[in-house]
Amino acid sequence: MTVTIELSNEQALALKAKAAAQGLSLEDWFQKLAGMDVPTGEARAPRRRYSLSELMEQCDGDAPLSEEDRAWLDDPAVGREAL
């Protein structure tokens, strides 16, 4: 999953410096912070791109929502969410 975060140039440079201090790319550093396995010393295989229909095929439309998801959906909008 790709997440886009808008940062000021100053913030981006500071985060890149923290990642570089650990010998990681910014993406690998975020994965490490998220508790994901980060390959070390190996070239990454190119990521496969999925179409929306391929992703939707994997979803279970009848699956119940968790309490956390229900609370998030019930909360009022706080930014530029699509209504």
**Is 26 part of any domain?**
yes
**Is 50 part of any domain?**
no
What is the rounded distance in angstroms from the CA atom of residue 57 to the CA atom of residue 54?
5
**Is 55 part of any domain?**
no
**Is 65 part of any domain?**
no
**Is 64 part of any domain?**
no
What is the rounded distance in angstroms from the CA atom of residue 15 to the CA atom of residue 12?
5
Query: Kind and range of the H or E element at 29?
Result: helix 26-33
Which range of residues forms the domain containing residue 19? 1-39
pTM of the predicted protein model:
0.36
Location of structure tokens 């997440």: 3
Location of structure tokens 């229900």: 70
- What is the domain count for the chain? 1
Token pair in block for residue 42: 């190996």
**One-letter amino acid of 7:** L
What would the pLDDT profile of 19-70 be if each residue is shown by its tens digit? 888 888 888 877 877 776 655 655 666 778 888 998 899 888 888 999 999 9
What is the rounded distance in angstroms from the CA atom of residue 42 to the CA atom of residue 70?
40
